[in-house]
Amino acid sequence: MNRFAALLPLIACAAWAAAPADTSRARVSEPKQAAAEAKKALTHPGNAVATAAKATGEAVKSAAVQTKDMVKTATAKVEAALSPASGIPDHYSKIVFPEFTYQPPHPKDHRVVLDRGVVAYLVPDSTLALIQMQILFGHPDLPKQPADVAPLGLYSAMLKSGGTARLKPEQLEDSLEFVAASVGAGIGRYQAELSLDALKKDAYALFDLLPEVALRPGLDPEVFKVQKRAYLENLKHRYDTPNGVMGVAYEHVMFGPNAINWMANEKEVEAVTTAKLKTWIGSGYSTKGMVIGVSGQFDRQEMIAQLNKLIAKFPPEYKGGTDSLPAFPGPQAPGVYVIDKPFTQATIRLGAPGVKRPDPDYYRLIVASYIFGDGGFTSRLMEKVRSNEGLAYGIDSDVGSDYYRKSTVNVSLQTKVETAAYAVKLVLSEMKRMAKEGVTDVELQRAKDGLIKSLPATFDTPEATAHIFAQGEIWHRSPDHFVEYINTISNMTKAEVETAFRKYFDPDSMRIVVVGNKAELMKTDERNQAALSHFGPVHEMTIADIEARK
């Protein structure tokens, strides 16, 4: 009998499923009837099984009929919704979107001139009781000799992290953590920065901390040891990845050794002491070339008054450094530059000289690059090298944006070492094809839409808006920069795009930098009739070569 007792749940469920579903009263009584039938099954198991099977079959038929009716009704509703009268197209490609119109925020609405001629951009945001501020100091602080690279880098790292002359590092950190605030400081090659993120109620009190961090750093000895160890560890591992090697090698090939790309070595880092760092105190920060970006919840006049008090605590001139950028030796000759590293993948970058902004060709180039390789899956390189040939997961072209030196145009990808030469061959072939055939109307419009319609994301937060305007002031951008961006790209012709592409994306001008296993890289791909030696003289470079300082 235990054998049939296991059928009780099935019998009960079948009876429930087969029962009428027209009234709630019937549903209440049906479980009781099912239980009674189940009890009978213990004494007449054969009849119970037959009854259960019959009930199950009827339930399935009933469910099938109901499902068919539901599908029929739903189909009728969808067809009605997609009828011409409904106005909904029958395919997503037929959806008509309203014309895109966008008016970017204008700097003049937020720009104020403070004491000493310091410019500030004040972007209000009432969402939260926060104030975010970034101060930029547009002054290059470059090492005068290679031996200065390590101390300058460590000095920048010690700002804020090493405390101040008044506050030990732990006191400074605890004070900021107590009011949920953060402060940042650093000196870069082209500019220095200070930043503050704080609650509205605490922000003005913390303004005084910024000149203290920048001009009177504590240079705590214990923190210095930690920063020094971190610097040395970074040096040890900077070439652990292909991209780490490529960044240094490409910079060397395209710009040559100069004060911008000098790199410290371990011996020089070991020789740095806190006494040496003290010679840099006061460097990097002055009201000359200072630009401030503020966003958050504030009263405009009160903020102006507080910023003028802050400005008064910075010196009017810079200590040391130089006001001029170094001369850049320029790119090495076109050809192939191979860095031998035991990686299973080949990391490839093809580059040629580009433009220094502002230059009218820059916008023509970014439209051309969008079509060629920067437009994701709509670009020609992605279709050819990834989709059709399956040689790379990702491939893209890029136009460098640089206000300090002439940048480069380039194509980057990674592929198997065995297919590196063939991948380069395809890239150069597509470059020649686009130069010869030009671009289509569809490609041009898609590029324009992609570039213009992505502009709103640039101003997605008040903080971003304030920073963009402040950085634009450092770069001496026109107040109408973003309006001009939209108008210039909107009115661009195919002839302008094609002329710029042919001028800069010239296959014969390409420096092809490849990082990978040289023994495999230099083999000829017989199947695809490709070899790196087909693209110009091949130069093997060592780590010592790419780190050269002259």
**Six token digits for residue 346:** 């080949």
25 or 263, greater pLDDT: 263
Residues 426, 525: contact at Cβ < 8 Å?
no
List of residues 6+ apart from 172 with CB closer than 8 A:
160, 163, 164
Domain that holds residue 412: 335-546
What is the reported pLDDT for 471? 98
| End-to-end Cα separation, the chain, in angstroms | 96
Same domain, 414 and 528: yes
Same domain, 261 and 150: yes
Same domain, 80 and 158: no
Model confidence at 22, in pLDDT bands (50, 70, 90)? very low
**pLDDT per residue as tens digits for the range 276-326:** 999 999 999 999 999 999 999 999 999 999 999 999 999 999 887 556 777
Residue 532 has pLDDT above 90, yes or no: yes
Residue 288 belongs to a domain: yes
Same domain, 394 and 483: yes
Model confidence at 124, in pLDDT bands (50, 70, 90)? very high
What is the reported pLDDT for 31? 46
Residue 209 belongs to a domain: yes
Residue 327 belongs to a domain: no
What is the reported pLDDT for 141? 86
Residue 438 belongs to a domain: yes
Which ranges of 394-490 does DSSP label H, i.e. alpha helix?
420-437, 441-453, 462-474, 481-490
What is the reported pLDDT for 36? 53
3-state secondary structure of 253: helix
Q: Exposed/middle/buried for 18, CB within 10 Å: 0-12, 13-18, 19+?
A: buried
Report if pTM > 0.75.
yes
Give the number of domains in the chain. 3
Residue 210 has pLDDT above 90, yes or no: yes
Residue 7 has pLDDT above 60, yes or no: no
Residue 197 has pLDDT above 80, yes or no: yes
Model confidence at 142, in pLDDT bands (50, 70, 90)? confident
Angle at 495 between CA 493 and CA 501, to 5 degrees: 110
Average pLDDT, the chain: 89
Q: Tell me the CATH number at 397.
A: 3.30.830.10
74 or 277, greater pLDDT: 277
Same domain, 293 and 197: yes
3-state secondary structure of 505: coil
Question: Rounded to whole angstroms, how far apart are CA atoms 412 and 250?
Answer: 11
**Which of 101-105, 364-368, 486-490, 540-544 is predicted with the least confidence, judged by mean pLDDT?**
101-105
What is the reported pLDDT for 322? 58
List of residues 6+ apart from 201 with CB closer than 8 A:
129
Residue 51 has pLDDT above 70, yes or no: no
**Six token digits for residue 526:** 């017989």
What is the reported pLDDT for 26? 41
Same domain, 413 and 514: yes
**Six token digits for residue 179:** 């009011």
Question: Rounded to whole angstroms, how far apart are CA atoms 501 and 365?
Answer: 6
Same domain, 288 and 371: no
Same domain, 391 and 474: yes
185-197 average pLDDT score: 95
Question: Rounded to whole angstroms, how far apart are CA atoms 77 and 82?
Answer: 9
What is the reported pLDDT for 209? 96
Q: In what order do the strands lie in the sheet with 511-516?
A: 395-399, 408-416, 345-353, 511-516, 335-340, 538-541
Strands 335-340 and 511-516, how do they pair?
Answer: parallel
Same domain, 119 and 249: yes
Q: Domain ends where: 94, 118, 137? A: 94
3-state secondary structure of 410: strand
Mind giving me the DSSP string for 22-51?
Answer: S-HHHHHHHHHHHHHHHHHHTT-HHHHHHH
Beta strand extents in 146-263 (DSSP E only)? 182-187, 192-199
Same domain, 497 and 353: yes
**pLDDT per residue as tens digits for the range 395-452:** 999 999 999 999 999 999 999 999 999 999 999 999 999 999 999 999 999 999 999 9
What is the reported pLDDT for 2? 45
Same domain, 36 and 149: no
Residue 317 belongs to a domain: no
Residue 404 belongs to a domain: yes
Same domain, 454 and 541: yes
**pLDDT per residue as tens digits for the range 347-356:** 999 999 999 9
Q: Domain ends where: 94, 121, 140? A: 94
What 8-state DSSP symbol labels residue 336?
E
The structure tokens 């949920």 sit at 180
Residue 497 belongs to a domain: yes
Residue 360 belongs to a domain: yes
Model confidence at 60, in pLDDT bands (50, 70, 90)? low
Q: Domain ends where: 61, 94, 127? A: 94
3-state secondary structure of 297: coil
330-355 average pLDDT score: 96
**pLDDT per residue as tens digits for the range 145-185:** 999 999 999 999 999 999 999 999 999 999 999 999 999 99
Cα atoms in the 13 Å half-sphere on the side-chain side of 306: 20
The DSSP element (H or E) to which 540 belongs, if any, is strand 538-541
Residue 503 has pLDDT above 70, yes or no: yes
Q: Measure CA 361 to chain center.
A: 24
Percent of the chain with pLDDT over 70: 86
What is the reported pLDDT for 55? 57
